[in-house]
Amino acid sequence: MTESKKIKLFNGRKGDFIRLTHLDVDGVMRRRLLDLGFVPGAVVEVLRKSPLGDPIAFRVSQTSIALRKEESLRIEGELINP
């Protein structure tokens, strides 16, 4: 049995895989993220963090996207092993 740990997307480290559980984002940004594949149950890989941690590049559904700190702090998931 694998252990899972709740984590905000912002707190992920390069190479981490996170299974999304909750998006606390509204409006146009929510629609954009859902369209890109940021849906509950999707697995997101942390690709790269800039030196100050803002923005962070993620891969989800064969798409790479950079999110700002404000956005990535509002998305939660479970840290998983690939």
Amino acid at 42: A
Question: By the 8 A CB rule, do 33 and 23 touch?
Answer: yes
Using DSSP, state whether 44 is helix, strand or coil.
strand
Using DSSP, state whether 16 is helix, strand or coil.
coil
What b-and-e string marks burial along 27-45, b requiring 16 or more CB atoms within 10 Å of the CB?
eeeeeebeeebbeeeebbb
Per-residue pLDDT of the chain (82 residues; tens, 9 = 90+): 455 689 999 999 999 999 999 999 999 999 999 999 999 999 999 999 988 878 999 999 888 999 999 999 999 999 997 5
Its pTM stands at 0.85
pLDDT of residue 79: 94
pLDDT of residue 71: 92
Question: By the 8 A CB rule, do 25 and 75 touch?
Answer: yes
